[in-house]
Amino acid sequence: MRNRFVIPSGIFVLVLVLISGCTRTSHQNKTAVAKIGLTTIPFPAVMGDTRLVLHVTDQQDQPINNAELSIKGDMSHAGMVPILTKATSAENGYYEVPITWTMSGDWRVQVEAHLADGTVAKQHFDLRVLTEDELCTSDHK
């Protein structure tokens, strides 16, 4: 009873840290005035319809709700049509948009956050999209 809300939000924060942790140091844009984190619902991402969640915060870790996000998903091999989408409304810094992964495998998601002051923060994330079968397999390890 008393853990009702603690467990789901704990998992969510952990996922954010895991994903942003591997990209933050090497790819952070020097002129960035905002920090961007990414996760998916469900996580790990599976082929088909999922939701993408981007968390945008300022240098003091305060949520930024009025950014306009341009999101582009590409696969690591040639010949794929990129996924393009936008997100413009947020709650507590979390921008959530539906996204349909058209193929399983390695994707790069590039995010541009256009801020109210006219500056742009950029971040990209590499993630693997699993098939339903792979998801089942990794659950049993």
Binding site for Cu ion (CB under 5 A): 75, 80, 103
Q: Which is nearer to Cu ion, 11 or 81 (CB)?
A: 81
Structural contact between residues 128 and 105, judged by C-beta atoms closer than 8 angstroms: yes
Residue 122 carries which side chain, given as an amino acid letter?
Answer: K
Q: Which helix (H) or strand (E) holds 136?
A: helix 132-139
DSSP 77: S
Shortest CB 105 distance to Cu ion, Å: 6
**How far from 131 is each of 6, 47, 101, 140, CA to CA, in Å?**
30, 6, 10, 15
Shortest CB 126 distance to Cu ion, Å: 14
Shortest CB 84 distance to Cu ion, Å: 15
Q: Which is nearer to Cu ion, 103 or 136 (CB)?
A: 103
Q: Which is nearer to Cu ion, 58 or 74 (CB)?
A: 74
